[in-house]
Every structure is written in C-alpha cells, then in structure tokens.
Structure 1
Amino acid sequence: MSAIERLLSNYSRQVKLPWPTNMAGKQRVWFAVYPPVEERRVRARQPQFEALTLEAGHNWINVDLTPLLPEWIAAHEYREAIFAQPEFFSTDSDLEALAAERVRAALSRDDADPSSVVAISGLASLFDFMRVSSLIERVEDFIPGRLLIFFPGEYAGNVYRFMDARDGFNYMAVPITSTESFLSP
C-alpha cells in the first residue's frame, strides 16, 4: 500500500469516528500530513477524501489557496516594483490576512455546519509567505465542524514542520499521517 493510500485509509477511519461537540476550535483541526514531494499526488486524490467524507455522512467544503498569491500580487499597488526587485518583496501579513478571510468565509457558509469538513489545500504555494500556525490561530474560533489542513511537511513528537524546512510548531490539532497503523481520537 502506498503512503497516499495509507493516508486515505487513516483519514477514512478518522472521519468515521464520533465527533464530540464540546471541543475548542484548535481541537477541531485535523492535519493530513504527507511528504512535500507527494503534493501533486495528494491533490489528485482529493476527490477521494471528499468521497470518504460524504460516505461518513459529513459535508465537504474545499478551499484551495493556490491562486491566492498570484491574485494578491496582481492586485498589489506596487506589483511592477515587486517584479523589478523581488528581493525586497514582503507580504507583511497581508497575504495571511487574506488567506484567513477566505477560510473564515468558507467556515461561515450556510452549508458549513457542525457536521462539515472544511478542507484547506494549496498551502505549498504560500510557502515562505505565511505561517500555517498563524492562519489556524486566525480561524480556529470559527470552526463549526472540522478543519482539514492538507499539510505538506512532517509530524513528529507533537511538532509539525511545514515543507520540512521551517522550525516546527507544536499544535493541538489531530495529525492524520500515512503511518500504517496510525489512528488518533
């Protein structure tokens, strides 16, 4: 069984578990953790994650953040200067705020209820421009059901490392990994 098939299998078991309703927002976050080199393969298999979610009786809402950076740069007042001297480019958390706004909009849709999975993909396209931990902190109080983060990186000892490059962050999310017998409550 491939790592992605194990990730799908572990996700299937996780999404079928009972969902306590008395949890804090940060405990409603799930990280589907996989090696960054598998990003395209995982994205190609997202319809299977959706199917498993629907099969378990939950709603599925996907938020793809891939186009966020190009849209932000295209609308930026100083876009020509950014392209002329990219070494001076800084998002100054504007991009992070925009990402949080998009995720909060999905979390507050009419069909986003306590039985919904809101899945965030495309974080790899924002690497080096924002921190995943900051994004989650901005949206955790708005999660009605579960927030599934497709996380290209690694998880070890309660520490997540985005794209295997940054210093890790300790977070209370439920990790879903491709480890053969992995299952977390």
Structure 2
Amino acid sequence: MSGKQRVWFAVYPPAEERRVRARLPQFEALTLEANHGWIVVDLTDLLPNWLSAHEYRDAIFAEPEYFSANSELEDLAVERVRQACAGEEANAASVVAVTGLATLFDFMRVSSLIERVEDSVSGRLLILFPGEYAGNVYRFMDARDGFNYMAVPITSAESFITP
C-alpha cells in the first residue's frame, strides 16, 4: 500500500477544535481496543517554541508584519512526524495522529507536510484536520485554496465529534 493510501483525514469545522481535542482519549481508547498502537504528534507548541528560541524574536515581535517562517516551521513539523513514524512503538498496526495544525495556519501548508511524510508511515497517519472536505478537495481552516488529496476522509457528518 502506498503512503497516500495510509493517510486518513478526520475533517471537522474549525470551531470544533477544542471538542475534538477533548475527545482524543476516546480515539486512543477505541484504537487500542481494536489492537492497534496509538501515537500522538502534537504540533501545538511548534510555533511558540520556535519563536521563543529564534535569534531575532525581539525584532519579530516588534514588527510582526515582516515575519516569515519560510520553510523552517514545516521542516520542524515534518521532523516531528517522521520521528514518531520511526519510533519503537510505530509499526504496521499503529495509528500516528497529528494534532495542532490549527496553530500553524498561515505558516505552512498541510498538503506539503503530508506529501513529505507519507512514505514514512508504516501503519496509518490520522490527520486531525480543522477545515472542510467536498469532492476530494480539502480546505484547511475553511480559508485556504483547497487541495486534492486521495486520503480517506472521516467527516464530522459521520458523528465522530457528537456526544
């Protein structure tokens, strides 16, 4: 199976981010109950940690309109996901769940992240994706131009975020 076939997108409205995160333990419990491994890659702290360690952080905060992360943040995100996929716990029966993408909105493209890590995945890669899906087109945070990707969509219409 190719990397593209091992990627799942759990698509939900951006306003539901907190509710989805609160339900992560349920995702984990059900995954473990089905005899699959569960590994979470949380990218929430990537931007603040990168900014706080940046040599020009004071200048960035003084004039944020000139700030550009270029590909540095994406490179860090790719490295985190690849490390999780290569870890001891990761195998063909594991699910690697990526959370915290909303914090990186406007700093990197999800499509690029997926393309760069998809071949590192031996089990399944679950992308918790705040946005929308229609006709194989995913739109991140309901704002970016959509990208066509062949991942398996899991949409909020399928009730994974309702009580």
TM class, shorter-chain normalised?
over 0.9
Aligned to 1:133: 111
Structure 2 residue runs of 5 or longer lacking an equivalent are none
1:9-158 equivalences in 2 (<5 Å): 23-158=1-136
- What is the DSSP-based 3-state SS (H/G/I as helix, E as strand, rest coil) of the residue aligned with 2:156? coil
CA distance in 1, matches of 2:142, 2:75: 23
User: Aligned AA for 1:121?
Assistant: T
The reply on whether 1:166 has 2:122 as its aligned counterpart is no
Cα RMSD (Å) of the superposition?
1.2
Superposed displacement of residue 181, structure 1: 8.7
1:95 and 1:180 mapped to 2: Cα distance? 32
Aligned length: 160
TM-score, normalisation: structure 1: 0.84
Question: What secondary structure, in the 3-state scheme, does the structure 1 residue paired with 2:68 have?
Answer: coil
| CA deviation after TM superposition for structure 1 residue 43, in Å | 0.3
| Moved >3 Å (runs of 4+) | none
- Give the alignment's TM-score, normalised by structure 2: 0.96
In 2, the alpha carbon distance for the partners of 1:28 and 1:37 equals: 27
**Cα distance in 1 for residues equivalent to 2:159 and 2:74:** 35
How far did residue 180 of structure 1 move? 4.0
Stretches of structure 1 lacking an aligned partner (at least 5 in a row): 1-22
Q: Secondary structure at the match of 1:147?
A: strand
Q: Could you tell me the percent identity over the aligned residues?
A: 78
Q: 1:175 aligns with which of 147, 150, 153?
A: 153
**Residues in 1 aligned to 2:41 and 2:158: alpha-carbon distance in whole angstroms:** 28
Cα displacement string for residues 150-171 of structure 1 (whole angstroms, at most 9, x for unaligned residues): 0000000100000000000000
Q: Deviations over 1:81-129 (max 9, x none)?
A: 1001000000011000000000000000011000000000000011000
